[in-house]
Structure 1
Amino acid sequence: MSARTDQDSPWKEILRQYFPEAIAFFFPELHRLIDWSKPIEFLDKEFQQIAPDTETGKRYADLLVKVWRKRGKELFLLLHVEVQAKPEANFAERMFVYALRIFDRFRQPAVSLAILCDSRIEWRPNRYEFSYPGTQLLFQFDTVKLLDYAEQWQGLEASPNPFATVVMAHLKAQETKRNATQRKEWKLSLIRRLYEAGYSRREVLNLFKFIDWVMILPEGVKQAFWLELKAYEEERKVPYITSVEEIGFERGVQQGRQEGRQEERQSLTLLLLEQKVGQLSPSLHDRISQLSPTQLEALAIALLNFSRLAELETWLETYQGNL
Structure 2
Amino acid sequence: MIDHDRLFKELIATFFIKFLELFFSHVIAYLEPESLKFLDKEVFNDVTASEQYEADLVVQIRFREQKTFFLMHIENQSYPQADFGRRMFRYFARLFEKYALPVYPIVVFSYDALRTPKKNIYRMKFPDKNVLEFNYGVVQLNQLKVKWARVVKINIYYS
Deviation readout 1:121-158 (Å, 9 max, x if unpaired): 11502111111256611111110111222x246xx67x
1:309 corresponds in structure 2 to: none
Larger RCO (alpha carbons 8 Å, 6+ apart): 2
Deviation readout 1:15-41 (Å, 9 max, x if unpaired): 1211111111121111222111x2311
1:79/1:8 Cα in 2 relative to 1: closer, same or farther (>3 Å)? closer
1:272 corresponds in structure 2 to: none
Seq. identity, %: 22
1:134/1:7 Cα in 2 relative to 1: closer, same or farther (>3 Å)? closer
Q: How many pairs align?
A: 147
1:143/1:19 Cα in 2 relative to 1: closer, same or farther (>3 Å)? same
In structure 2, how many angstroms separate the alpha carbons of the residues matched to 1:104 and 1:137? 17
In structure 1, how many angstroms separate the alpha carbons of the residues matched to 2:5 and 2:102? 31
1:64/1:9 Cα in 2 relative to 1: closer, same or farther (>3 Å)? closer
SS in 1 for 2:139: strand
Runs (5+) with no aligned partner, structure 2? 46-51
Deviation readout 1:158-195 (Å, 9 max, x if unpaired): x9522xxxxxxxxxxxxxxxxxxxxxxxxxxxxxxx5x
The structure with the greater share of residues assigned to helix is: 1
In structure 2, how many angstroms separate the alpha carbons of the residues matched to 1:65 and 1:54? 17
Say which one has the larger Rg: 1
- TM-fit CA distance, 1:6: 4.4
Q: Note if 1:39 corresponds to 2:32.
A: no
* TM-score for both structures, normalised by structure 1: 0.41
- TM-fit CA distance, 1:109: 2.5
* One-letter code aligned to 1:22: F
Q: Note if 1:121 corresponds to 2:115.
A: yes
Runs (5+) with no aligned partner, structure 1? 56-60, 163-193, 200-323
Q: Note if 1:83 corresponds to 2:78.
A: yes
2:133 corresponds in structure 1 to: 138
* One-letter code aligned to 1:140: N
In structure 1, how many angstroms separate the alpha carbons of the residues matched to 2:5 and 2:132? 37
1:6/1:44 Cα in 2 relative to 1: closer, same or farther (>3 Å)? same
Q: Note if 1:97 corresponds to 2:97.
A: no
In structure 2, how many angstroms separate the alpha carbons of the residues matched to 1:94 and 1:107? 19
1:12 corresponds in structure 2 to: 9
In structure 1, how many angstroms separate the alpha carbons of the residues matched to 2:111 and 2:154? 25
2:57 corresponds in structure 1 to: 63
* One-letter code aligned to 1:136: V
The structure with the greater share of residues assigned to strand is: 2
* TM-score for both structures, normalised by structure 2: 0.79
* One-letter code aligned to 2:15: Y
* One-letter code aligned to 1:21: K
